[in-house]
Amino acid sequence: MFTPADSISRTPLVAVYGTLKRGQRNHYWLKSADFLGSDRLTSATLYDLGPFPGAKPEPSRGVEVEVFRVDANLLTELDRLEDFRPRQPHAGLYHRAIHATSFGPAWLYLYNPEVAGCVSIRQGGWRH
């Protein structure tokens, strides 16, 4: 797993699992991105937080993600949306790390706060 200090040149891919997926309310943020396809990650577990999910870097039986090719400007916009703070990655709502997908290494936004009491999704996807 790589850290957010790695540049976009290392990977122009983002794996999304919640409101950024096609058909979800925030997908319009990815209108300029190239959809590469769907995948299942066993390196993350999703948690149902109500209006959106959060991922933790915990083993799973395969959670559903969609992989998109993005540019540096769009990645910066997504960072703002997800409250990712590059200088203090664990101070915001999410930090990001690179996870392996079948399309190559991709950024995955990981939820910072505790998830005690939230329903875990260790297989499949978040549905709302």
Is 8 part of a structural domain of the chain? no
Instruction: Point out the residues that are catalytic.
Output: 82
According to the model, what pLDDT value does residue 7 have?
46
What's residue 127's pLDDT?
84
Q: Is residue 2 part of a domain?
A: no
Q: State residue 117's pLDDT score.
A: 94
Long-range CB pairs of 96-100 (<8 Å, 24+ gap) are 96/4, 97/1, 97/2, 97/3, 97/4, 97/57, 98/1, 98/2, 98/6, 98/10, 98/11, 99/1, 99/15, 99/41, 99/43, 99/44, 100/41, 100/43
> What pLDDT is recorded for position 10?
59
Q: How many domains does the chain have?
A: 1
Within-domain flag for 5: no
78 located within any domain: yes
Which residue stretches of the chain have pLDDT < 70?
Answer: 1-11
CATH assignment of the domain containing 40:
3.10.490.10
Q: What is the pLDDT of residues 9-42, one digit of tens each?
A: 556 899 999 999 999 999 999 999 999 999 999 9
Residue range of the domain that includes 36 = 13-124
What pLDDT, on a 0 to 100 scale, did the predictor assign at position 11?
64
